[in-house]
Amino acid sequence: MADLGGRPVAIKSPEQFEKLTKEYIEWVKSNPVQKTVTAAFQGVISYEKIPHSRPMTQYGWAAHLGVSLATLKNYGKMEGFLAIFQEYQAYMTAWNIDGATCGDLNGSIIARIEGLADKQQVESTVTIGKDLNDFYADQEAES
């Protein structure tokens, strides 16, 4: 890569990018979110930690790589990095959607993160029964 006088490049090769990406994926899988469930039985209250899948996000991916989100996306456009970026982005999307469909991840949040939220455009037309010009003509006639 050519030195343009800016900050040193954080990730020097596609191989390093892929290695760090695999580390992020393994970290997410090995570190589930712990949710506390409260239960009461015969007057005894108990708390239990239940592991739930952690979502894989571009924000988390970028943080693990030690770069900004914008820099991560720039790597995704660079020759040599593009195919790796797309492959792992697809994997992370599948992970998130699978987690949402089984109930481990919040489906509404995942839909927004992945750009899958339903968008609806609502149009309405109101007809009062008279043309607006007729309304004004009636007003003038009454005065």
pLDDT of 143 above 70: no
Greatest alpha-carbon pair distance for the chain in Å reads 84
pLDDT at residue 23, rounded to an integer: 97
Helices 82-101 & 14-30 angle (0-180, nearest 10): 10
| Residues in contact with 88: Cβ distance below 8 Å, sequence separation at least 6, in sequence order | 18, 21, 25, 61
* Helix residue ranges, H only, 66-106: 69-75, 82-101
Q: Each residue of 88-121: pLDDT tens digit?
A: 999 999 999 999 999 888 888 888 888 886 666 7
Q: Once rounded to an integer, what is the mean pLDDT over residues 130-142?
A: 66
pLDDT at residue 52, rounded to an integer: 87
DSSP state of 55: P
pLDDT of 130 above 70: no
The model carries a pTM of: 0.70
Q: Once rounded to an integer, what is the mean pLDDT over residues 108-137?
A: 72
DSSP state of 122: -
